[in-house]
Amino acid sequence: MNVPFRYIQRQTIVHRLHPFTKMIYVLLTLLLILIPLYDIRHLPVLLIWLGLSAALWAAARIEVGRFAALLKILAGTFIFLMLAQGFTYRHGKTVLIKFGDLHFGGSNVGELTLEGVQLGFMLSVRILTAASSLPLLVMTTSNAELMAAMNQLRLPKVMTFMFVSALSFTSLIFEMWNNIVDAQKLRAFDIDRMEPITRLRRAYVPIITPLILLLFRKANDFQIALETKGFGSPGRPTEIQTLQMKPIDFLAIGIFVAVFILCNLLRFRL
Amino acid sequence: MSGMNEMKNTDAIVKLHEVTFTYEGGVVALRDLNLTVRRGEFVVVLGANGAGKSTLCYLLSGIIPHIYGGRRTGEVQVAGRDPWDDPIYITAQRCGVLLQDPEIQLFMPTVRAEVAFGPANLQVPREEIERRVAEALALVRLEGLEDRNPRDLSGGQKQRAALAAVLAMHPQVLVLDEPTSQLDPLGRWEVVQALHRLKASRDLTIIMTTHETDEVMDLADQVWVLEEGRCVLAGTPEEVFAQPERLEAVGVKPPTLAHVWIHIARQSGAPILGDGQRLRDLDVAQVAQQAATLLRQGRIRPRPLPDSVQPPSPARPAVIEVQDLVYRYPGYPPVTALKGVSLTVREGEFVGIIGQNGSGKSTLVKCIVGLLRPTAGQVRVLGEEVRRLSVGQLARRVGLVLQNPDYQLFTISSREEILFGLRNLGIPREEAEIRVQEALRWVGLETEAEIFPFRLSFGDRRKLAVAATLALDPQILILDEPTTAQDHRGRYQLAELARRFREEKGRTVIMITHDMELVARYAERVIVMWDGQILLDGTPEEVFGQTELLHRSFLRPPIAHEIARQLAAFGIPQRVLTTQDLLTVLGGWP
């Protein structure tokens, strides 16, 4: 199984942007979704920002399949949110489906309401907006550039390296997870065909336990590999790569800020 | 040993005097070591698993005591300092270390960044780092791959990138802990070539632990052999490799060329080495020529080779039928791992599948056991289409023992570990208990039934994985790389179990391996895979005779078979596949 959101080496305009520029885009995305956007009328605000993200994904020539993978990962959460809000939203008036009267905490949880589903939908779109920005940063910025950028920010060496090595470890964890699942399937442990409840109850011990034990071992080897490369040395490491902001970065930041302001204006006019 | 102690110490760069090391748990790993290495020497350290080789590496590179604790007595000096007294980053500037697993040593996004990581941490100026990176990559022949992600490299390239990263720190001593043990034949060859270049081009002292004596015979200036932490043999390759029986006794495989050379010299009464001759310089042609001379002179006479086991008749039922199998890994871009593979395996066969990493061996087996669903084509096991069978139904038919047992072990005892699969199949408790006992007995772990699996040695953990598979009573047993991380003694344990399984139960065995000697010894049919296709399929004799095709897939027949082929004119049978076969046929006095 491929790690869906690892760095993809390409020569595109997005790849060439300074990591700071892309970090600003991520930061603005997170700020946008912190604004209260619960009403379905605010959907265009999020769609505009999602449009910007889609343009960036396209400019970075990232395959549609990767975005589909992101949707697949989040689909369960979206369905849960819409159902949970649909049944529990206390201000829901338009009943879509009624299973009965079951009043709890000020709402009738026996009814699925349109307003509740819409609230769940808006929460889902906000999550999607946030989730589409970070992979873009990770997929278009190499770890070396991230390290260089974090060094420029004068962040502590350990923090920088922990962040970057966590990204590296992700692919290792994916690989180990798949190997463990395969090994247990070979012993007639059919996790794929289990009911969700059974899976939660039974399936994860035979998978998580070896994963944790292996991770402990790998972490030890990793420490050896790091320390024997002088990682514990005092002082800041030599900066191999120096990054500079170019006119295209300022232009991009200008566009991001302009779209952000537009979204905010729209939010308060709708 | 005595030769070592008499060595002049004026240019000694590594010295161990009366060194004993005990781990925190109380295990004594090294005992009374007295060893000296001179600047520029290449020292090969041999020994069975648990002999203390890795501990020695850790001690020299400062990993002990700074990461692994313990108690040491005696003196250690590496480039004039005791690694015990300095932090690792100081020792690392004098003594670099390369570990077995290349994956864990590579953590940067590009090869260039990886190699620059060490010197950058040591605050070496940027221009100097760039110069060192270029120099190190040239030495390991990875020029042009500077911007590649190390994770996308082949196994051999990864290990060479890790080696370059160590070299860029400009150590005076390089410690290599079984650097080729996890690589395929091509990867091993690439790393060994890099070591040859290093030896020739730099005033670098190299200490390397290994089980692969054939690979390092011509590299070594000194050889140390450890047993239970003690140095039991030390000297030049001529001194050490001239004692094959002694090496065998301590669990070390004598290099094939030296072993055969000494054997025929002894059999014929000829001197082992002439003036200026060195064991480390021997090659296949020289050994074959010497044997030919002695055969021609009648000083040795070929002995008959016992009859080999006859393969099962083609009339036996097919247990695996693969038809035009295509498998494509999804990705960006997708990778086609199998390109129309067709094969039939019959009941009772012992099949060896060989090929480089990425040739499609593992993908083929994963399609057979149902872990992967074919993109196109058909796989039938015992007459049933695999895609129609559940994982449980397949587990009763085919058992696959993976390379790394640690991916499956998770319970508190060996017994529970075996019970896990039986419970998944819904086997009644009483019958399951009987099967557990039988499986443990089969692999020789009956006294370890209540032991926590992670307390077992790696070899025993693999045996436990085999027991867990055999308890499911499969009709077909597949072993994936049964010799991985095993020493000379443990190397054939799993294959022996498989052979018994086949002979006593009449079942089918398939082995995926890079080990030519293993295939030669056990398989009666060999399948060579290359680029997602079957390149060769036949008896070992037929396959190993196709040297050109094997060469194309970066494989080499066993050395003993290569020698035997050159001696065909003297009546040496072409069925000679293993070192043991060759020693047997060249064993007789006239």
pLDDT for res B420: 95
- Mutation target vs A (from B90, B101, B391, B396; most A CBs, 10 A cutoff): B391
> What are the φ/ψ torsions at residue B556 (nearest 5 degrees)?
-135, 135
Return the structure tokens found at A204: 């994860």
Q: Give Cα B88 to chain centroid, integer Å.
A: 29
Nearest to A32 by CA among A130, A128, A118: A130
Q: Is B589 on the interface with A (CB under 8 A)?
A: no
Q: Is B324 on the interface with A (CB under 8 A)?
A: no
Note which residues in 16-35 of chain A have CB less than 8 A from chain B.
none
Mean pLDDT throughout B40-49? 94
Q: What angle do CA B253, B259, B260 make, to 5 degrees?
A: 140
- Distance (Å, whole) CA B361 – CA B337: 9
Contact predicate B375/B340, CB 8 Å: no
- Distance (Å, whole) CA B362 – CA B208: 30
User: Where is mean pLDDT largest: A137-141, A212-216, B159-163, B386-390?
Assistant: B159-163
pLDDT for res A63: 83
- Distance (Å, whole) CA B279 – CA B261: 8
pLDDT for res B31: 96
Three-state SS at B262 = helix
- Per DSSP, A170 falls in state H
**Residues of chain B with C-beta less than 8 angstroms from the C-beta of A182:** 366, 371, 402, 407
| % chain B with pLDDT above 70 | 96
Return the structure tokens found at A259: 């779209």
Q: Which residue of B has its CA nearest to A187?
A: B421
Please report, to the nearest 10 degrees, the dihedral formed by the alpha carbons of residues B11, B14, B19, B25 taken in order: 170
Q: Please give the single-letter amino acid code of residue B214.
A: D
Contact predicate B224/B207, CB 8 Å: no
Nearest to B14 by CA among B40, B44, B38, B42: B38
pLDDT digits (tens, 9 = 90+) for B404-431: 899 999 999 999 999 999 999 999 999 9
Contacts 24+ apart (CB under 8 A), A206-212: A206/A180, A206/B410, A206/B420, A207/A177, A207/A180, A207/A181, A209/B410, A210/A180, A210/A183, A210/B406, A210/B407, A210/B408, A210/B409, A210/B410, A211/A173, A211/A176, A211/A177, A211/A180
Cross-chain residue pair A63–B103, CB shorter than 8 Å: no
Q: Which of B125-134, B296-305, B364-373 has the lowest mean pLDDT?
A: B296-305
């590009």: which residue's tokens?
A: B110
pLDDT higher than 70, residue B143? yes
Query: Which of A142, A192, A222 is opposite residue B110, by nearest beta carbon?
Result: A142
pLDDT for res A192: 77
Q: Which of A59-68, B245-254, B422-431 has the lowest mean pLDDT?
A: A59-68
pLDDT for res B449: 93
> What are the φ/ψ torsions at residue B15 (nearest 5 degrees)?
-135, 130
pLDDT digits (tens, 9 = 90+) for B160-207: 999 999 999 999 999 999 999 888 888 889 899 999 999 987 689 999
Nearest to B530 by CA among B366, B318, B356, B371: B356
pLDDT higher than 90, residue A197? no
Mean pLDDT throughout A41-59? 92
Average pLDDT score, chain B: 90
Cross-chain residue pair A165–B107, CB shorter than 8 Å: yes
Nearest to B354 by CA among B582, B579, B556, B559: B556
- Distance (Å, whole) CA B160 – CA B115: 10
pLDDT for res B231: 96
Q: Checking phi first, is residue B481 left (phi over 0); if not, alpha (psi -120 to 50) or beta?
A: left
Mean pLDDT throughout B367-396? 92
Mean pLDDT throughout B352-371? 92
Cross-chain residue pair B63–A228, CB shorter than 8 Å: yes
Residues B287-308 as b or e (16 or more Cβ within 10 Å = b) = bbebbbebbeeebbbbeebeee
Give helix B559-566 / helix B256-268 axis angle, nearest 10°.
50
Nearest to A238 by CA among A159, A162, A147, A163: A147
Nearest to A184 by CA among B409, B396, B452, B458: B409
Q: How far is A11 from chain B (nearest CA, A)?
A: 13
Cβ contacts from A onto B, under 8 A? 170
Q: Which residue of A has its CA nearest to B96?
A: A228
- Mutation target vs A (from B88, B114, B456; most A CBs, 10 A cutoff): B88
Q: Please give the single-letter amino acid code of residue B551.
A: H
- Mutation target vs B (from A150, A157, A186; most B CBs, 10 A cutoff): A186
Q: How far is B12 from chain A (nearest CA, A)?
A: 23
Nearest to B112 by CA among B128, B99, B130: B130
**Residues of chain A with C-beta less than 8 angstroms from the C-beta of B472:** 187-188
Nearest to A7 by CA among A150, A168, A141, A173: A141
Contacts of A6 (CB under 8 A, 6+ apart): A138, A139, A167, A170, A171
ipTM reported for the complex, 2 dp: 0.84
Q: Which of A195-209, B91-105, B231-245, B501-515 has the lowest mean pLDDT?
A: A195-209
pLDDT higher than 80, residue B10? no
Identify the band that residue A233 occupies on the pLDDT scale cut at 50, 70 and 90: confident
Q: Which of A221-230, B281-290, B320-329, B505-514 has the lowest mean pLDDT?
A: A221-230
Q: How far is A90 from chain B (nearest CA, A)?
A: 45
Nearest to A137 by CA among A215, A203, A53: A53
Task: Tell me how far apart the terminal alpha carbons of chain A are, to the nearest angstrom.
Answer: 44
pLDDT higher than 60, residue B589? no
Query: For the purposes of burial, counting CB atoms within 10 Å of the CB of A152, is it exposed (0-12), middle (13-18) or buried (19 or more)?
Result: middle
- The pTM assigned to this predicted structure is 0.83
pLDDT for res A3: 60
pLDDT digits (tens, 9 = 90+) for B208-218: 999 999 999 99
- Distance (Å, whole) CA A92 – CA A85: 9
Q: Which of A86-100, B87-101, B196-210, B320-334 has the lowest mean pLDDT?
A: A86-100
> What are the φ/ψ torsions at residue B63 (nearest 5 degrees)?
-60, -35
pLDDT for res A97: 84
Task: Tell me how far apart the terminal alpha carbons of chain B are, to the nearest angstrom.
Answer: 38
Identify the band that residue B490 occupies on the pLDDT scale cut at 50, 70 and 90: confident
Q: Please give the single-letter amino acid code of residue B454.
A: F
Number of H helices, E strands in chain B: 25, 19
Identify the band that residue A72 occupies on the pLDDT scale cut at 50, 70 and 90: confident
Q: Which residue of B has its CA nearest to A4?
A: B331
- Distance (Å, whole) CA A263 – CA B190: 57
Q: What angle do CA A150, B101, B188 make, to 5 degrees?
A: 125
- Distance (Å, whole) CA A204 – CA A215: 16
